């Protein structure tokens, strides 16, 4: 069983809030724009003390509340400050969340800080405007009880708000017009069955099961498969497909030389065993898992610990974790038995999957926030794993698929009974901080990356300035007093605008101080950095009510927890009454009797190898999605996949060893006319390389790509988020890594990825778009990073080979995995020679005073204004070359990067 003593989590302080939107902490504009008196809900204020969850309370705490606090609240306060009352001043005291959220004057309580709690001040009659209760001051003993209660951190056993709070058990569920039994007639809801192999005329052609099905389809449609791809093309294709990297020139030479019948199979096995496999295929899953290192949406708050999930996914692919297990761990890893601390930690990290979604941290209502969080989880799981759009049934019965609204709320109950631990720190713009998961100390986990010296300097400087600003700051009480004075038309005693700035600075200071719990003075990560995002049982098992039109205040009948009925062709899970049911949900999904799970995954794997799915809408197998082009094939492969232990690598291997995968990508004349998109798989498709592969391949050609996994993520080491753009300047040390390790901050995705149709990380993305836009051309032609890599590539060529001709040969091999044709070599020679002449003639003619340009741009960057999160691909010390030969070679290398061939898998 899990090592339960480690289940206790640390306070929310471990994560740090970062507002990417904000200017430095002392910028009055942003501060005023977002916070202040208009946004009275400050969430938890600055003591950093967290109000415990009901499940964490000791018996003594509970009885203190029940005997000393609750009677007074209900006797003296609820008349005006509870649901159904007049809710004076916008303040309710009848739920813990409402007290924290507060009313017009701000939070009623600040756990741990009685003096700053308006409730206490009102009871004490400190301020004229807030003398409560109005009927007369309570006894000193009662006030002392309340002071003590706040000092204890406001332990409160009352249920936290969820969107299930106002359900009505007496109401009946609405009758749905959906006929579930009839709905099950749809292909996707029936269990896949294996069919006998179809017969084909060209019996010698198929080399694997799938070839029979594809060939049968071709023959039925009068299509003859094209010839096999040549060995070089196949090598490049399978290398990119399995590892996201091109083959080395040595590998090209060896493979072309090797005439043994097993050469290709051995190559495939080698690629499958490479750590690069997990980096390539892990990223495919991260698209589906909408992985990102920030919240996105209105207030973009960093998730500094998201990277652990990223690494877990990559490792899972490299370990070839069976897909069923892969799913169960992500949905319910926290509930699985573990044999040791390491396994325990990894199981929990896997649940980061559920915590990764976009969130509106500045939303006010807790119930709405929770409902949206749960909705996001349902959407991610149902589309990502089941290719079913259950979230469509949030507001009404699903319009196309047999999923009644009640099914949505049945699933919602499971997630509503789950606590999502995404971290972040309470701040003016963050009303919804949460805990994180504290991982065991001695489980051999990475602590994350160390802060580079420059980062430390920036942080230290910011800390010192902020600290100085905060020193001598007015207290929250003084600010409130000043505000009231201003409202009365009097001149306040303190400068309110300055106070606002200080309030923001205080939040910043909290961040820096929490950062110090994760990094030591030398900038090395400590055990305090052993944190992860994920989920846990909330300790409250609740069924939620169906919400009319999905609206939070239109609660209807309570819906028992469960799963969509139409998906239960195989079995229906029994949910326990003492747990959320997440584990049972996970096991039901990852079961051989689930009609969709294996099919959806087989289809995803297929898509990444053939460029299109058997079902072309990989995230939607419903009736508004597309029908499978080869249903029997999909079913048979799914059945075999499950029988084979959900072995992803074996599935990949089977596909790439098939004859269908190995044919040429040039259609013959007939297919060019009748089937240019290869609907019948008579030829392979030309596929666009993703941004990751383009960047990796450029660095690879230049010889500057590091295949080592970097420790952690850059996002993990910067808590002072307002400085992130500035800090990005210092990324150099970390940027020769593969693209999968670049930071993925929502809305601030590195340009090298964003430009090339990177997955929108706010959604499940099973199939990235393929656009061709001029911004991509501008990037390849003008981007400083691209040029620097081209410089490095050119330098390598100068080193590797003596003559221009040799260098051209070498460059083609490194960039395109092949030798140039005669015409290409000749064009290249002419270009390089002529460009060199241009460069030699005058720097001012060809290059606009390159050095000066470079310095100007560098100076702009140092300015820190208008900075954008972008990785540094070149070496920090790289300068623009002055040697005409090098300039010409670099221009040539850059041109190779820009070619269609470099950006395509044939």
Partner 1 sequence: MQFDCCSNSETVVSRRDMLTQVGCGFGAMAFAAMLAQNSMASTILGPDGRPALVAGKTTAKAKRVIFLYMAGGPSHLDTFDYKPELANADGKNLSVGRGSGQLLASPWKFQQGGKSGLWISDLFPNVRERADDICLLRGMKTAVPAHAQASVMMHTGSFQFVRPSFGSWVLYGLGSANENLPGFITINPGNGNGGAQNYGASFLPASVQGTRVDVARNGNRGGGGGRGQATPDEPIEDLRNDRYTRSAQREQIDFVQTLNKERQRREKDSAIEGLIESYELAFRMQAEVPELIDLTNEKQSTLDMYGIGQTATDGFGRQCLLARRFAEEGVRFIEVSQGGWDTHRNLRVDLERQCGAVDRPIAALLTDLKQRGMLDDTLVIWGGEFGRTPYAQNGDGRDHNAKGFTIWMAGGGVKGGLSYGSTDATGGEAVDGVMDIHAWHATALHLMGLDHSSLTFNHAGRDFRLTDVKGRVVPEIVA
Range 264-303, binding partner 1 (CB under 8 A): 296-300
Kindly tell me which of 89 and 282 has the beta carbon lying closer to partner 1: 89
Residue 253: alpha-carbon gap to chain centroid: 39
Kindly tell me which of 27 and 592 has the beta carbon lying closer to partner 1: 27
Look up residue 13 and give its DSSP letter: G
d(CA 443, CA 154): 35
845 binds partner 1, rule: CB under 8 A: yes
Which of 116, 351, 362, 466 contacts partner 1 by CB under 8 A?
362
Kindly tell me which of 312 and 793 has the beta carbon lying closer to partner 1: 793
d(CA 602, CA 605): 5
Q: Are 887 and 881 in contact (CB under 8 A)?
A: yes
Binding to partner 1, residues 493-512 (CB under 8 A): 496-497
Kindly tell me which of 483 and 653 has the beta carbon lying closer to partner 1: 483
- Report helix, strand or coil for 152: coil
Binding to partner 1, residues 392-431 (CB under 8 A): 392, 396, 399-401
Binding to partner 1, residues 776-815 (CB under 8 A): 776-779, 781-784, 787
667 binds partner 1, rule: CB under 8 A: yes
Kindly tell me which of 496 and 509 has the beta carbon lying closer to partner 1: 496
Kindly tell me which of 328 and 698 has the beta carbon lying closer to partner 1: 698
Binding to partner 1, residues 519-558 (CB under 8 A): 549
Kindly tell me which of 7 and 552 has the beta carbon lying closer to partner 1: 552
Which of 320, 383, 508, 648 contacts partner 1 by CB under 8 A?
383
d(CA 845, CA 848): 7
Q: Are 480 and 741 in contact (CB under 8 A)?
A: no
Size of the site for partner 1 (CB under 8 A): 122
30 binds partner 1, rule: CB under 8 A: yes
Q: CA neighbours within 13 Å on the CB side: how many for 458? A: 22
Query: What does the chain come to in residues?
Result: 906
104 binds partner 1, rule: CB under 8 A: yes
Which of 78, 130, 186, 831 contacts partner 1 by CB under 8 A?
831
| CA neighbor of 893 nearest in space, from 704, 692, 690 | 704
103 binds partner 1, rule: CB under 8 A: yes
**Which two tokens mark 554?**
């239109």
599 binds partner 1, rule: CB under 8 A: no
Q: Are 332 and 582 in contact (CB under 8 A)?
A: yes
Kindly tell me which of 469 and 541 has the beta carbon lying closer to partner 1: 469
Q: Compute the least distance from the CB of residue 388 to partner 1, in Å.
A: 8
- Helix (H) or strand (E) run with residue 691 in it: helix 691-702
898 binds partner 1, rule: CB under 8 A: yes
Stretch touching partner 1 by CB under 8 A, among 10-18, 111-119, 203-211, 848-856: 848-856
Q: Compute the least distance from the CB of residue 141 to partner 1, in Å.
A: 33
Nearest 5 degrees, angle CA 759-CA 294-CA 373? 90
- Report helix, strand or coil for 86: coil
Binding to partner 1, residues 624-643 (CB under 8 A): 624-625
d(CA 442, CA 587): 30
Compose the 862-881 pattern: x for residues touching partner 1 by CB under 8 A, - for all others. Answer: --xxxxx-x---------x-
Nearest 5 degrees, angle CA 482-CA 484-CA 486? 70
859 binds partner 1, rule: CB under 8 A: no
Kindly tell me which of 282 and 881 has the beta carbon lying closer to partner 1: 881
Which of 593, 860, 862, 882 contacts partner 1 by CB under 8 A?
860
Q: Compute the least distance from the CB of residue 729 to partner 1, in Å.
A: 12
Nearest 5 degrees, angle CA 317-CA 322-CA 325? 105
Kindly tell me which of 579 and 838 has the beta carbon lying closer to partner 1: 838
d(CA 392, CA 398): 6
Kindly tell me which of 39 and 142 has the beta carbon lying closer to partner 1: 39
487 binds partner 1, rule: CB under 8 A: yes
Beta partners for 544?
Answer: 559
- The residues, any chain, with a CB within 8 Å of residue 73's CB and separated by 6 or more, are 93, 94
Which of 635, 640, 767, 906 contacts partner 1 by CB under 8 A?
906
Q: Compute the least distance from the CB of residue 54 to partner 1, in Å.
A: 28
Q: Are strands 534-537 and 531-532 parallel, antiparallel or unpaired?
A: unpaired
Q: Are 552 and 371 in contact (CB under 8 A)?
A: yes
Beta partners for 537?
Answer: 418
Q: Compute the least distance from the CB of residue 727 to partner 1, in Å.
A: 14
Nearest 5 degrees, angle CA 87-CA 90-CA 96? 85
851 binds partner 1, rule: CB under 8 A: no
Q: Compute the least distance from the CB of residue 723 to partner 1, in Å.
A: 11
Q: What interhelical angle do 691-702 and 804-816 show, nearest 10?
A: 150
Kindly tell me which of 625 and 710 has the beta carbon lying closer to partner 1: 625
Binding to partner 1, residues 701-760 (CB under 8 A): 725, 747-748, 751, 757, 760
38 binds partner 1, rule: CB under 8 A: yes
Q: Are 740 and 262 in contact (CB under 8 A)?
A: no
Backbone angles phi, psi at 400, to 5 degrees: -120, -35
Q: Compute the least distance from the CB of residue 122 to partner 1, in Å.
A: 17
Which of 523, 825, 850, 883 contacts partner 1 by CB under 8 A?
850
Which of 195, 340, 771, 882 contacts partner 1 by CB under 8 A?
771
Tell me which long-range contacts 313-318 makes (C-beta under 8 A, separation of at least 24).
313/278, 313/282, 313/285, 313/286, 313/289, 314/278, 314/279, 314/282, 314/709, 314/740, 315/278, 315/282, 316/278, 316/282, 316/350, 317/277, 317/278, 317/281, 317/282, 317/285, 317/648, 318/275, 318/277, 318/278
Q: What interhelical angle do 774-782 and 784-800 show, nearest 10?
A: 50
Residue 885: alpha-carbon gap to chain centroid: 44
d(CA 242, CA 661): 13
- Report helix, strand or coil for 738: coil
Look up residue 299 and give its DSSP letter: S
Which of 239, 704, 817, 894 contacts partner 1 by CB under 8 A?
894
Q: Compute the least distance from the CB of residue 121 to partner 1, in Å.
A: 20
Kindly tell me which of 127 and 783 has the beta carbon lying closer to partner 1: 783
Which of 11, 32, 159, 679 contacts partner 1 by CB under 8 A?
32
Q: Compute the least distance from the CB of residue 748 to partner 1, in Å.
A: 7
Which of 706, 775, 862, 882 contacts partner 1 by CB under 8 A?
775
Binding to partner 1, residues 298-357 (CB under 8 A): 298-300
Look up residue 296 and give its DSSP letter: -
821 binds partner 1, rule: CB under 8 A: yes
Stretch touching partner 1 by CB under 8 A, among 176-184, 530-538, 565-573, 898-906: 898-906
483 binds partner 1, rule: CB under 8 A: yes
Which of 152, 306, 363, 563 contacts partner 1 by CB under 8 A?
363
């Amino acid at each position: 069983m899990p090592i339960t003593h480690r289940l206790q989590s640390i306070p929310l302080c471990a994560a740090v809030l970062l507002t990417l939107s904000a200017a430095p902490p002392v910028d009055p504009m942003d501060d005023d724009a977002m916070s202040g008196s208009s946004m009275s809900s400050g969430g938890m204020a600055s003591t950093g003390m967290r109000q415990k969850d009901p499940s964490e309370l000791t018996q003594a705490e509970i009885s203190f509340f029940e005997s000393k606090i609750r009677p007074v609240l209900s006797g003296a306060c609820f008349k005006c400050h509870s649901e159904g009352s007049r809710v004076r001043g916008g303040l309710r005291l009848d739920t813990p969340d409402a007290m924290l959220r507060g009313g017009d004057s701000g939070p009623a309580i600040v756990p741990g800080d009685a003096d700053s709690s308006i409730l206490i001040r009102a009871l004490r009659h400190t301020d004229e405007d807030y003398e409560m209760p109005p009927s007369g001051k309570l006894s000193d003993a009662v006030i002392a009880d309340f002071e003590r209660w706040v000092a204890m951190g406001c332990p409160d056993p009352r249920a936290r708000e969820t969107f299930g709070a106002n359900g009505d058990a007496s109401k009946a569920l609405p009758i749905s017009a959906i006929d579930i039994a009839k709905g099950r007639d749809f292909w996707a809801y029936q269990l896949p069955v294996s069919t006998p192999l179809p017969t084909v005329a060209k019996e010698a052609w198929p080399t694997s099961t799938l070839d029979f099905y594809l060939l049968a389809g071709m023959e039925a449609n009068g299509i003859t498969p094209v010839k096999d791809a040549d060995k070089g093309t196949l090598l490049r294709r399978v290398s990119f497909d399995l590892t996201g990297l091109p083959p080395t020139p040595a590998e090209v030479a060896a493979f072309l030389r090797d005439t043994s019948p097993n050469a290709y199979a051995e190559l495939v096995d080698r690629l499958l065993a490479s750590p690069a496999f997990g980096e390539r295929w892990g990223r495919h899953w991260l698209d589906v898992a909408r992985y990102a290192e920030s919240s996105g949406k209105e207030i973009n708050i960093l998730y500094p610990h998201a990277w652990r999930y990223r690494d877990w996914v990559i490792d899972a692919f490299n370990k070839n974790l069976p897909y069923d297990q892969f799913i169960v761990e992500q949905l319910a890893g926290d509930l699985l038995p573990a044999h040791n601390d390491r396994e325990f930690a990894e199981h929990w990290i896997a649940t980061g999957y559920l915590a990764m979604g976009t969130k509106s941290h500045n939303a006010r209502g807790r119930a709405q926030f929770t409902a949206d969080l749960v909705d996001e989880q349902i959407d991610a799981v149902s589309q990502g794993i089941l290719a079913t759009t259950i979230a469509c049934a949030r507001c009404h019965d699903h319009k196309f698929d047999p999923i009644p609204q009640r099914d949505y709320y049945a699933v919602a109950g499971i997630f509503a009974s789950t606590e999502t631990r995404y971290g972040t720190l309470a701040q003016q713009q963050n009303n919804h901080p949460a805990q994180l998961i504290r991982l065991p100390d001695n489980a051999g986990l990475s602590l994350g990356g160390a802060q580079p010296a420059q980062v430390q300097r920036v942080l230290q400087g910011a800390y010192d300035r902020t600290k100085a600003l905060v020193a001598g700051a007015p207290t929250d009480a003084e600010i409130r007093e000043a505000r009231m004075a201003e409202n009365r038309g009097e001149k306040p005693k303190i400068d309110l605008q300055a106070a606002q700035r200080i309030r923001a600075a205080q939040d910043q200071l909290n961040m820096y101080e929490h950062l110090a719990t994760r990094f030591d003075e030398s900038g090395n990560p400590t055990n305090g950095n052993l944190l992860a995002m994920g989920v846990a049982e909330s300790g409250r098992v609740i069924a939620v009510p169906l919400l009319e039109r999905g609206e939070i205040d239109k609660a209807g009948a309570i819906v028992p927890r469960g799963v969509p009925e139409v998906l239960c062709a195989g079995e229906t899970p029994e949910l326990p009454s003492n747990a959320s049911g997440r584990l049972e949900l996970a096991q039901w999904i990852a079961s051989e009797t689930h009609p969709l799970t294996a099919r959806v995954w087989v289809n995803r794997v297929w898509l990444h190898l053939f460029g299109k799915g058997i079902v072309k809408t990989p995230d939607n197998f419903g009736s508004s999605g597309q029908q499978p082009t080869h249903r029997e094939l999909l079913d048979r492969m799914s059945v075999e996949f499950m029988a084979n232990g959900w072995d992803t690598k074996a599935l990949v291997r089977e596909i790439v060893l098939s004859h269908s995968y190995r044919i040429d990508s040039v259609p013959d004349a007939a297919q060019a006319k009748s089937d240019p998109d290869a609907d019948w798989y008579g030829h392979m498709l030309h596929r666009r390389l993703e941004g990751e592969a383009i960047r990796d391949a450029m660095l690879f050609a230049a010889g500057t790509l590091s295949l080592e996994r970097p420790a952690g993520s850059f996002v993990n080491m910067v808590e002072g988020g307002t400085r992130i753009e500035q800090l990005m300047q210092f990324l150099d040390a970390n940027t020769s890594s593969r693209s999968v390790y670049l930071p993925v901050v929502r809305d601030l995705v590195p340009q090298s990825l964003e430009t090339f149709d990177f997955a929108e990380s706010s959604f499940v993305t099973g199939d990235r778009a393929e656009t061709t836009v001029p911004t991509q051309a501008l990037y390849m032609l003008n981007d400083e990073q691209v040029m620097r890599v081209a410089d490095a590539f050119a330098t390598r060529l100068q080193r590797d080979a003596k003559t221009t001709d040799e260098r051209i040969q070498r460059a083609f091999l490194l960039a395109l995995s092949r030798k140039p044709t005669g015409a290409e070599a000749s064009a290249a020679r002419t270009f390089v020679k002529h460009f060199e002449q241009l460069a030699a003639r005058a720097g001012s003619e060809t290059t606009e005073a390159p050095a000066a340009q470079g310095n100007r741009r560098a100076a702009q960057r140092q300015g820190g204004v208008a900075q954008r999160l972008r990785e540094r691909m070149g070496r920090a010390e790289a300068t623009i070359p002055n040697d005409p030969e090098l300039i010409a070679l670099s221009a040539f290398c850059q041109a190779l990067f820009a070619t269609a061939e470099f950006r395509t898998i044939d």
